[in-house]
Amino acid sequence: MLHAPESPLHGLWDTWLFPADDGYHLFYLKRDLRDMFAKSIAHAVSPDLVHWTAERDALHSGDGNTWDSGWLMTGMVVRHHDGRYYMFYGAMVDQVQRIGVAISDDLHHWHKHPKPVMEACAPFYETDPRRSPNHEVAWRDPCIVYDATSQQYYAFICARVPNGSYSGGACIAVCRSRDLLSWETLPPAFISDEYVCMEVPDVFALDGRYYLMFSTARWFDSYYQTSDPHCVNGTFYLVSDDLLSGWRRPAENIVIASRESRLDSYVGRSVMHPSDGSRLFYHHMVRRKHPNDVASFGAVKQLATTSDGALRVLARRDVDRFTQPLSAQSVYRSGGKWLTADSELCSQADAPSLYLLYQAEAALIETQLAFESEGGIAGVVIGYGSAAEQGLCIVLDRTAGQVEVSLCGAEFGALRRFPPLQARRADLRGAVHRLRVLVRAHYLDVYLDDALLIAFSWAHLPYGKAGFYAERTTVRFRDSRFAALTF
C-alpha cells in the first residue's frame, strides 16, 4: 500500500521497522520474483511513516561456503548500549536455518559478523531436516528483547521441538545474551500441538501484560481452529504475565487474518513509538499473482488493549493529513429510495441499491451508519463503473454479524451483491457504527469504530466511482468523508 520495490523483478516480503533520530528505517526481504526467495535485505527511510525513499540494500547473501550463502530470512534491528546497531537476520543452507548478525554505526553501512550467533541444538529443539514436516530445521525470525531487571537480552525464535507431530510441534525458542554476540540456548517459552510453525514472533509489554504475536497459515498442513472461520491465515497472539513462561492463547486471539484460500496480510509486528511511547503495529499486504505473490508495506496502525487484556489494532491518522477532499460529481442511483438533507443521506432499500457520487481511486473514506431497522446491510462501494459494471462493496451485515468485502455489480439487468471475498465477525448489535476504508492501488484496510478488521488485496485497480450501498434496511449515512490520497 505504501512502499514496495520499484523493479518489477523484485518483491517485498517480511519487514522490520526501526525508529531512529533521522526517521523511520524499514528493512525487508527483497525477493527475486524469478525464483521466489530473498537474496537481499532492502532498506527504505521515511520521516512520517507515509512517504518512503529507497536506500541502497543493507545486506546480500554471502559468497561461496559462508553460513549465509543461501536464502536470507527475516531479521530485526537492535540498538546496543554502546550506540551501535545490530541487525539479526537468518539464512538457510542445506535446509538448516541459522541466525547471524551485522553491525552498523549509522544504519546504512553494515559489517557482517563472520559466524552465526544462534543455532538450533538438542535437546530442546529439532536439528534434523529429515524429521521435519517442512524438511528443514526451523530456526528463524529472531525477536530481541532487553530485560532491564536481569540486564540481559532475550531472543525469541521460530523453531520446532524434537519429534513434534506433523500437524503440530511448533515452539517459540529462547536464547539469552549479555553482549548480543554470545548466546545461551534456553528451553522453549511455548510449545504448540496445533501449529507446525509460529513465524516471526514479536514479544512486547503493553498495559501491564506481555504479548507474543506470531504468524501462521494452514499451508503448513496444520488444522488449528480460530474464533472466526473467515480468519485462519495471518497474525495471532498469546498473552502472559511473565516474559519467559505462562504463555496462553486467548479464546479470540486474531490480530489480523484472512480466509484459508487467501493471504491478504502477514507478519504483523510492532515497535515502540519514539516519542509518545505507544505501540506501533505494521505488516505487509499480499496480492496473489501467478507465478508469485507480490506485496506492499501497509499503513502503520497502533496497538491497544481492552480492559480484559484483549489486543486490538487501531487506526492511526498518519495518512489523513495527506488527503484532499473529493468533489461530488453527477449522481448515479440504482434501486432504493435515497433522500438527502444537509450533510446526511438516508436510504430506504429492500433490494441492493447504490448511490454513487465520487470518482475515487486512492482514497480515504469514512462514514457513520445509523440503522433505523433491525438487521440489514449497508456500507460503501469503491471502483464501480468499469467495463464489467462492478465495484468492491464493503458493508456491515447486521443479520450475519460480520463486516464483509465483496463484489457488487449489474447482472441480467439487476444490481447484485456477490458472496463475500473476505469477512470478519463483529458485534453489530448497536444501531450506530463508523466505517473507515483506506484504499491505495490493489490494497485496502477496513476499520469498524476505529478498529482494524480486514486488510484486503484486490486483483483489479479501483478505478471508477465511489459512494454508498444499502440493502434490506433503512439507514442514515452521517459525517461522510471521501478524500483522495495525495501521496
Per-residue model confidence (pLDDT) at position 372: 95
Per-residue model confidence (pLDDT) at position 290: 64
Query: Who's near 307: CB < 8 A, 6+ residues apart?
Result: none
Taking 90 as the threshold, does the pLDDT of residue 134 lie above it? no
The answer to whether 89 and 75 are in contact (CB under 8 A) is: yes
Taking 90 as the threshold, does the pLDDT of residue 469 lie above it? yes
Per-residue model confidence (pLDDT) at position 341: 84
CA proximity to 157, closest of 116, 204, 206, 198: 198
- Spacing of C-alpha 325 from chain mean position: 27
Per-residue model confidence (pLDDT) at position 343: 83
Q: Which residues are paired to 35 by β-bridges?
A: none
Per-residue model confidence (pLDDT) at position 63: 94
Which amino acid is present at 473? T
The answer to whether 335 and 352 are in contact (CB under 8 A) is: yes
Q: What is the mean pLDDT of residues 13-31?
A: 97
Specify the range with the lowest mean pLDDT, choosing from 120-129, 152-161, 196-205, 287-296. 287-296
Taking 90 as the threshold, does the pLDDT of residue 388 lie above it? no
Taking 90 as the threshold, does the pLDDT of residue 26 lie above it? yes
Which amino acid is present at 7? S
Read off the pLDDT of residues 43-70 as tens digits, 9 standing for 90 and up: 999 999 999 999 999 999 999 999 999 9
Among all chains, which residue has been given the C-alpha cell 511448533?
Answer: 170
Round the average pLDDT of the chain to a whole number and report it.
95
Taking 80 as the threshold, does the pLDDT of residue 291 lie above it? no
The answer to whether the bond into 19 is cis (omega within 30° of 0) is: no
DSSP per-residue letters across 208-255: TEEEEEEEE-GGGS-----SSTT--EEEEEEEESSSSS--B--SS-EE
Assign 220 a pLDDT band (cuts: 50, 70, 90).
confident
Per-residue model confidence (pLDDT) at position 120: 98
Per-residue model confidence (pLDDT) at position 159: 98
Read off the pLDDT of residues 63-91 as tens digits, 9 standing for 90 and up: 999 999 999 999 999 999 999 999 999 99
Taking 90 as the threshold, does the pLDDT of residue 266 lie above it? yes
Taking 70 as the threshold, does the pLDDT of residue 386 lie above it? no
Q: What is the mean pLDDT of residues 334-348?
A: 93
Tell me the helix, strand and coil percentages in the chain, rounded to 5. Answer: 0, 55, 45
Read off the pLDDT of residues 151-196 as tens digits, 9 standing for 90 and up: 999 999 999 999 888 889 999 999 999 999 999 999 999 999 999 9
Whole-structure pTM value? 0.96
Please report, rounded to a whole number, the percentage of residues in the chain having pLDDT higher than 70. 99
